[in-house]
Structure 1
């Protein structure tokens, strides 16, 4: 089946591999069901006898251009709403029935969604019989005169047929008739079972022309269903009533409860010919179409059906009706069936009514119905998977395993797809728009199924007897009967045909009718004629015996020669059989080697593809490796150039910083000299004030200069050329004494760490750290202070510092600042890489006291006044700066830095 969009060319399939055997594609037919209501929208249009077109209804997805898709599907034959059941049978099932009579197998199944008309197509209704009753009618119309007596053909439990003699068949018939129970009174039923005469009109009967007149036939039917992936026999006698009557001896029936035995599931097995069959399934021998149809209807009433939202009587299982036809040739005389099991030919036709695929959301199923729908959809999905793999193996030359065993329906019919018979499918569709999506899936499955090819079955061998034996034997009997009627007298059936011919050649008897009791002529004439016939008969018998005696030696010689020839023929036949076995073994070996060769070729193709993939990967990896090596070389050369450039930058920066440091040192020296000069000026003024306070009538001191001018280049003047302290003092002014100005109190300032910058730090100070209270303390801005490091704190910062205190060798407390960088690890954590250690140490030094100079004219006695005011002022300032450490001490912070 081909599918194409309107206005687009058909899709091309890959070329198929040639096959040595002849194959036939799976025949797929389509039947369109009429709409239930006239005003209902239709989504399927039959445009020809082989093509239908599907219109996308409103509300469904469109193509990329926003237009509604119109997809066409082609089948082997399309049957519209006006096609009759008879026409459908003529095209679909009649060829399969012809093949069945010729000894070939066939499989016919209906497929579609729920409510698409599958059961009606298979079974039909009164006056409109479906494929199954018409197939039964055609079979018995064809083989009716040639059927064997009942129980001549007998089934065993291994899917094979045996032949019994006429005597054994007669005994078994008598035994079965004696074992039959008293017929039960027919119970009242709401509706009588339909007869096959009601299903098929007399003018619609058909007959096959391929019946072998020299064979004897017998038909066996079986009926099973596959429910929830279990096989049940619908013809098996089970206890249907849970209550049975029991007589108590008084004439009144008493009812008692009995246990209802559920039906047992059957299993699938493989016979000696590797054909799958249902083990333990009841096979009923039928002799007419009416009997076969009644057997089918008896099992049909046990089939699982349920009422759903989409169908009033929805099939909940797959039903399989198997018609098995056994035929065997007649003997050389054309009277009895040949007692040779190897000459039996068994063919079967399977009529399958698949359950419809459905969506539980639309059917409103609950509980058991959901489970049934799930099993139905799963089995249909497995059927689709098997068809897909078969199609891929045939079209692409692969050798994938087909999962027949995943479902009972595919496992039962795996032999048909492997070449045991023809396969045909009738796709039933409902044109209403509600089933549009499900119908699309059915169409895709049908499209794929038609591309699968099945091997054509071979014809069965023909028996070596002369054809027309049955007709010749019947013609001979009719001729004997006619001659007997002409001449009168019985014919001994036990005598040989030659003796009966001689008897018929005797002179005819005269009329023996007596009209007068005194007639003396008729009886003597009759007696004379009888004596004459007796004499002639004796003469003929003597001649016959004489000729027979003469022929005995000749016959013995012929028998001897025939025996020798038979021995020779048997010997030759044995050799031929051995040669045939050798040939069969060679053929099997050749087939095995061919399969092995194909498998090895497939493996070689796979290995070649794998090798090509690996070579491509190798080339790509080599190219990538070369690219990365070139990139690495470029990066190394770039790194070297960067190092050289950085060395130059470092040299330039170092030179610039040296110049900058030198400039800053000079500036600081100038600033310090200016401060010293200011300090000296203040001391001079203080000295002048003190001196003038003791001298009466001193002049007023000059006004205080708030911003003295720095000396020009004091750092470059030698000490000998510098002015003295008295010269540097401003001129004395006669003013009233003013109070001695007090010095500005020293405010302790904390020392900023050398590494403090714009980065965020983790300041790790253990709880045992001591606050020394000194002026120079390490303070890090923008830091998180913790007593113990944590991953959360480290993840928020870039640098890390650990404050460690210990006692130095001189007994003073020494503080170490251990610094490092916080880096992220590959596992998502943080690690600290230490880069620097800064050491802070306290020293206590004694401030030297200045000696008093006697030349200054200050008396050491009296009220204890100091002779040197400048020395006293400097000592006072030093004492005030170090007052927190004790008298005469000064606090210094020594900083030492080293790399770890």
Structure 2
């Protein structure tokens, strides 16, 4: 035997959206205005109600003075204007009641409040005790209309894909038992006292209303959900997450998805089935407590998120008996009762309380409040952009893409603007002069919104059996109970009086425990009670058989009446057939006239289309001409700007090159002056060397014991200020040369005789010497390498170690003798030299020179100069 595999999921392509019935009729978005009273009498008012559909804005004196009279008195028109004395009931009658009536007749609706922060949006939507707003009055009207026709709980069930399924009576009963076992208290409150006392009486009983034309042969069920859009994230306010006191988890955001009909919905959102106004209002306040509000400079309880309260009404026709929801029996290998989803109609009403637009300069928001205000203003700006694009597409015939996805608010409700239901907006206005500029922007947006048209929703009839099934079934029950009462049967469905007496006299069994073998009372008493119970049972059986016989006779009488009624129906059907033939002849004539009318309509349509084509061509050519003129004007202005820019660039470039040439000339002059100065210096030095060699013969010093180089002339003097290096004395040296030092031939290099060269100083080397020298190399400011000789004396410590005391630092640098900045240094007055002795100055300057005799440190001069710093 074959069995279906319920776990196998075949990958099927996505079904295209069903074709929606076309409807060329469109209605503009209904925009209403409500003016709230001033907060204090001393506040300045800037709003005046001119008529029932017009208001006027007066610019405050301060703004008019600052803007030089730019803002003047401006009038704005709406579908209807509600003044400060308008009651909540009057507002509901004009705005929300038609939407609730459409909801009961299978049509969708969207109602949202819009305005500046502190303008009364939440009061308009929710209200206060005794002055219920649009939301509680809508719920009250829904349940007043469908209250007697509601299905039992869990007959309708959400399928988590924005659809509704119908369960059979067994599954619904199991769901109810499971719910009752989980909760010890009933879900539906028995009275308004179960709500918070502050919100117990939102609506007066005298103001209750109901819809007309409710289909009594359908079964209804209401589902509500409540979400908020905070910082462009969607959060479920009815989600009951487990509370963790140690590490509480933040609420998880929800995502938007598209169902098989391409309608947007919040995936994973909690949808609660409610059966009364009190229960629905209790669910609303449970979510309202989780909504994010904060205290700002302008509003003590400012909404920091957009709240969306959705009401879904599911309805399906009843079966032929008028007792249960209509179901379809599918005969296959396994007989399964399924619900035809086309017979289930789901309509939705969304009540949206938008957060108020605000300026941070007035609210002085900081931190998270500032971020919230930015996201609120951004979402409202996206809503305004979508309305502008829709208006432009409808008025100009363009096909621009509407940016619904830029914000969660517009993305969630894009189906309504595409023709899924009526859209209405209540603009709340605070007449305080401090809100003048924000109010003016709100008024402009409201006027813009009124020009947008939304396709009128098409009626969706529910196909069922003939009407009046519920009434006929109830009438049959009433007639049956009356006849049973006449014949002594049950009254109002209750048990007969005789049966009640018998059941009440039904004895209970006495105790039958035998504790004594000589007990003669227990068994006889038990036998007597059992015999009495047996007699009563026989009497009950006889009464039951009498009632069954009476019921059978009544059913036979009903059958006879039905047969008589059938004969009467046959006669009536004969008369109806004659009337049908007459009607058929009239229909033939009507069809002929309709064909002729359709032919004329086709001709009219052709002419209208031709006219529209010519009008569109004319509009397109005019638009193209205007665009070309604008493009030409832009090109001319761009050309003028380019000419002015090029003139500026030419002047700037000319000035720049003049400055650059002047700078280069000055630099060249300075360079030539430096070269002339260097040549003069060289000539002076040459003259001094020659003059000195001719006039003043060199006298050798007494301490000079080293031989003179053969290439050195005899009269070369020794600088009197020159002194021997400190390292030329007696004693033994520790020559510390780190591995990082470089062997340079162009820098003065120390040469110590009788020295111990080490790369790392050690106690053994220090103990053998009495002097210490460290060679350190670094880069000087002129980019050349500078060598420093750090000298010290070695002493023995009391503990037997070695200690170094630094006494002198010598610095050895390299300089170019031909550099312009070179300064001649001499030990005393410059020697006078005459020309003719030494002609090759550079050769004489390169002669190696020795220090004073007896020095232990020798320096070799290779085209450089030695500087010593103590």
**Normalised TM-score (structure 1):** 0.52
CA distance in 2, matches of 1:479, 1:535: 15
Cα distance change of structure 1 residues 410 and 358 upon mapping to structure 2, 3 Å threshold: same
Q: Given the alignment, which residue of 321, 325, 334 partners 2:322?
A: 334
Output one character per residue of 1:725-782: Cα deviation in whole Å (capped at 9) or x when no partner: xxxxxxxxxxxxxxxxxxxxxxxxxxxxxxxxxxxxxxxxxxxxxxxxxxxxxxxxxx
Paired position in structure 2 for 1:313: 301
Q: CA deviation at 1:541?
A: 8.4
Output one character per residue of 1:271-298: Cα deviation in whole Å (capped at 9) or x when no partner: 0111100000000000000000000000
Q: Is the contact between residue 222 and residue 311 of structure 2 (CA under 8 Å) also seen in structure 1?
A: yes
The answer to whether residue 76 in structure 2 is matched with residue 73 in structure 1 is yes
Paired position in structure 2 for 1:35: 38
Cα distance change of structure 1 residues 606 and 221 upon mapping to structure 2, 3 Å threshold: same
Q: CA deviation at 1:482?
A: 1.1
Paired position in structure 1 for 2:445: 445
Cα distance change of structure 1 residues 795 and 435 upon mapping to structure 2, 3 Å threshold: same
Cα distance change of structure 1 residues 364 and 472 upon mapping to structure 2, 3 Å threshold: same
What secondary structure, in the 3-state scheme, does the structure 2 residue paired with 1:35 have? coil
**Aligned runs of 1:668-817 on 2, under 5 Å?**
792-793=661-662
Output one character per residue of 1:761-810: Cα deviation in whole Å (capped at 9) or x when no partner: xxxxxxxxxxxxxxxxxxxxxxxxxxxx995149999xxxxxxxxxxxxx
Q: Given the alignment, which residue of 244, 247, 252 partners 1:264?
A: 252
What secondary structure, in the 3-state scheme, does the structure 1 residue paired with 2:471 have? helix
Q: For structure 1, which segment, 36-45 or 315-324, has the greater mean C-alpha deviation from structure 2 after superposition?
A: 36-45
Paired position in structure 1 for 2:802: none
Paired position in structure 2 for 1:429: 429
Cα distance change of structure 1 residues 473 and 51 upon mapping to structure 2, 3 Å threshold: same
**Aligned runs of 1:450-465 on 2, under 5 Å?**
450-465=450-465
Paired position in structure 2 for 1:372: 372
Paired position in structure 2 for 1:173: 176
Paired position in structure 1 for 2:363: 363
Paired position in structure 2 for 1:626: none
Cα distance change of structure 1 residues 537 and 226 upon mapping to structure 2, 3 Å threshold: closer
CA distance in 2, matches of 1:541, 1:292: 48
CA distance in 2, matches of 1:465, 1:128: 42
Q: Is the contact between residue 196 and residue 290 of structure 1 (CA under 8 Å) also seen in structure 2?
A: no
Q: CA deviation at 1:489?
A: 3.4
Output one character per residue of 1:43-84: Cα deviation in whole Å (capped at 9) or x when no partner: 001111111111111111379984861111111111111111
Cα distance change of structure 1 residues 539 and 49 upon mapping to structure 2, 3 Å threshold: closer
Cα distance change of structure 1 residues 174 and 432 upon mapping to structure 2, 3 Å threshold: same
CA distance in 2, matches of 1:603, 1:349: 42
Q: Given the alignment, which residue of 267, 281, 293 partners 2:281?
A: 293
What secondary structure, in the 3-state scheme, does the structure 2 residue paired with 1:235 have? coil
Q: For structure 1, which segment, 442-451 or 203-212, has the greater mean C-alpha deviation from structure 2 after superposition?
A: 203-212
Paired position in structure 1 for 2:166: 163
Output one character per residue of 1:343-390: Cα deviation in whole Å (capped at 9) or x when no partner: 000001000000000001100100000000000000000000000000
Cα distance change of structure 1 residues 84 and 341 upon mapping to structure 2, 3 Å threshold: same
Paired position in structure 1 for 2:130: 127
**Aligned runs of 1:25-424 on 2, under 5 Å?**
25-61=28-64, 66=69, 69-180=72-183, 193-194=196-197, 197-239=200-242, 243=245, 258-339=246-327, 340-424=340-424
Q: Is the contact between residue 226 and residue 308 of structure 2 (CA under 8 Å) also seen in structure 1?
A: yes
**Normalised TM-score (structure 2):** 0.54
Cα distance change of structure 1 residues 790 and 230 upon mapping to structure 2, 3 Å threshold: closer
What secondary structure, in the 3-state scheme, does the structure 2 residue paired with 1:198 have? coil
Q: Is the contact between residue 146 and residue 215 of structure 1 (CA under 8 Å) also seen in structure 2?
A: yes
Q: Is the contact between residue 293 and residue 303 of structure 2 (CA under 8 Å) also seen in structure 1?
A: yes
Aligned positions, number: 507
Paired position in structure 1 for 2:605: none
CA distance in 1, matches of 2:353, 2:156: 29
CA distance in 2, matches of 1:82, 1:616: 51
Q: CA deviation at 1:326?
A: 0.2
CA distance in 2, matches of 1:611, 1:273: 43
CA distance in 2, matches of 1:418, 1:225: 23
Q: Is the contact between residue 419 and residue 455 of structure 2 (CA under 8 Å) also seen in structure 1?
A: yes
Q: CA deviation at 1:538?
A: 10
Cα distance change of structure 1 residues 173 and 41 upon mapping to structure 2, 3 Å threshold: same
- RMSD over aligned Cα atoms: 4.1
CA distance in 1, matches of 2:111, 2:196: 25
CA distance in 2, matches of 1:267, 1:168: 30
Q: Is the contact between residue 224 and residue 321 of structure 1 (CA under 8 Å) also seen in structure 2?
A: yes
Q: CA deviation at 1:238?
A: 2.5
Q: Is the contact between residue 132 and residue 351 of structure 1 (CA under 8 Å) also seen in structure 2?
A: yes
Q: Is the contact between residue 98 and residue 210 of structure 1 (CA under 8 Å) also seen in structure 2?
A: no
What secondary structure, in the 3-state scheme, does the structure 1 residue paired with 2:459 have? coil
Q: Is the contact between residue 159 and residue 277 of structure 1 (CA under 8 Å) also seen in structure 2?
A: yes
What secondary structure, in the 3-state scheme, does the structure 1 residue paired with 2:177 have? helix
Q: Is the contact between residue 295 and residue 301 of structure 2 (CA under 8 Å) also seen in structure 1?
A: yes
What secondary structure, in the 3-state scheme, does the structure 1 residue paired with 2:113 have? strand
Paired position in structure 1 for 2:488: 488
Paired position in structure 2 for 1:691: none
Cα distance change of structure 1 residues 63 and 479 upon mapping to structure 2, 3 Å threshold: farther
CA distance in 1, matches of 2:555, 2:251: 72
What secondary structure, in the 3-state scheme, does the structure 1 residue paired with 2:480 have? helix
CA distance in 1, matches of 2:183, 2:316: 29
CA distance in 2, matches of 1:74, 1:368: 37
CA distance in 1, matches of 2:554, 2:420: 64
Q: CA deviation at 1:103?
A: 0.5
Cα distance change of structure 1 residues 180 and 486 upon mapping to structure 2, 3 Å threshold: same
Q: For structure 1, which segment, 278-287 or 471-480, has the greater mean C-alpha deviation from structure 2 after superposition?
A: 471-480
What secondary structure, in the 3-state scheme, does the structure 2 residue paired with 1:59 have? helix
Instruction: Give unpaired runs (5+ residues) of structure 2.
Output: 1-21, 188-193, 328-339, 494-541, 564-611, 636-657, 667-870
